[in-house]
Amino acid sequence: MKLSRRAEGVAASATLRLAAELGRLRAEGVKVVSLLEGEADLPAPTVVKTAMLRAVRGGMTRYSNSQGLPELRAAIAAKLKHQNRIQTTAEAVLVTNGAKQAIYTALQVLCGPGDEVIVPAPYWVTFPEAVKLAGAKPVFVPAMGHDLDVDALGRAVTRRTKAVLFNTPNNPTGAVYSKEALRALAALARKKDLAIISDEAYEALVYDGREHFSIASLNPDAARRTVTIQTFSKLYSMTGLRVGYLAGEASFVKAATRLHGHVTGNVCTTVQHGALAALSLGASFREKRRAVLERRRDLAYAGASRIFDALKPRGGFFVFADARRHLGGRFKTSVALAEHLLKSARVAVVPGSACGVEGFLRISFSASESDIKEGLRRIEAAL
């Protein structure tokens, strides 16, 4: 069977491939410490599980509104207004199968062959492949510090540039982009007539008293040209339930909903009731979860800093560790180093090249404190 150029041109997800190898080793009885996934080991809240069970018992297992349950979209719109200061309505929200489908949908609606999308690097591994699936070309701009270099983004704009795709807090660096940088990016987008796709999956997980800013909240023009993407996966530990959403300008959301209706019909009706229950949890829940991850961040950063150079992450789930002092001898690339750590130390991490920057390792601190300590101990011993 001859495959399409689209299928042949898209790389497999590096994190999913590594997770599959991790699963294979564990099935064989190998005790591997995983510092791989962006998935906290904390349980989904009881209120979420109770709501889903109630929905199943109540027969809420049929097709539902393709755009999302009206009551869930209304709750999401209220959340965006109160927490993110984004002025929106339920009709401007689309419920999706996680943030990943939301990103895919946004790019399919906005881009086509010959278009370019600017992606700050390092990036989440799915970003460039989602751009390619839309027929567009990802254009990478270095962004290794704690903030965006908007001047560098501006220099990358051409007449083919259609959008800027980024996330804050950043996966993998943990950067939390400042209001000043986001304001400059919004001004650039206005000047060059660009769309903005803002992936805010880790929005609630910001440390050291810092604040997450949504670029769509800055002014009406930024709101008009921004697609805001969020998920229930990270804060609420609902990763396997696959529910997220996008919010944007009304005509964009209508187009996205048309596409969504052909791709998936509707997000699992039962899970949407769980998502609605999650939004009922207040600030105290969010703070408790955030505090747990901040303690794990501190532990992971302290341990990783003994072995590698690294900026202290300000948000998210990851330390992006500079491993170049360990390369050039036994290990030529970050892939070779990550493979050595998996085979010899039985620790799973993501090579930085999967995130667009060679010489680094992405180390997750979403695991338990004991796993973080043991994993870093093994890594130090192996090097």
Residue 285 CA, chain-centre distance (Å), reads 21
Angle 231-122-259 (CA atoms, 0-180°, nearest 5)?
40
pLDDT (mean) for 30-59? 94
pLDDT band at 209 (very low <50, low <70, confident <90, very high): very high
pLDDT at 330 over 90: no
pLDDT (mean) for 48-64? 96
Contact 123, 356 (CB under 8 A): yes
Following CA atoms 298, 100, 107, 317 in sequence, which dihedral angle do they give, to the nearest 10 degrees?
0
Beta strands 318-322; 347-348: pairing state: unpaired
pLDDT (mean) for 77-102? 97
pLDDT in tens, 334-346: 999 998 999 889 9
Domain boundaries, the chain: 5-43+284-382, 46-279
User: Hey, what are 373's tokens?
Assistant: 């300590």
pLDDT (mean) for 193-199? 98
> How far apart are the C-alpha atoms of 196 and 202, rounded to whole Å?
18
The fold adopted by the segment(s) 46-279 is Aspartate Aminotransferase; domain 2 (3.40.640)
pLDDT at position 13, please?
72
User: Hey, what are 207's tokens?
Assistant: 């440390």
Question: Can you count the helices (H) and strands (E) in the chain?
Answer: 15, 13
pTM for this prediction: 0.94
The fold adopted by the segment(s) 5-43+284-382 is Aspartate Aminotransferase, domain 1 (3.90.1150)
pLDDT band at 359 (very low <50, low <70, confident <90, very high): very high
pLDDT band at 17 (very low <50, low <70, confident <90, very high): confident
Q: Fold identical between 5-43+284-382 and 46-279?
A: no
pLDDT at position 2, please?
85
pLDDT at position 10, please?
78
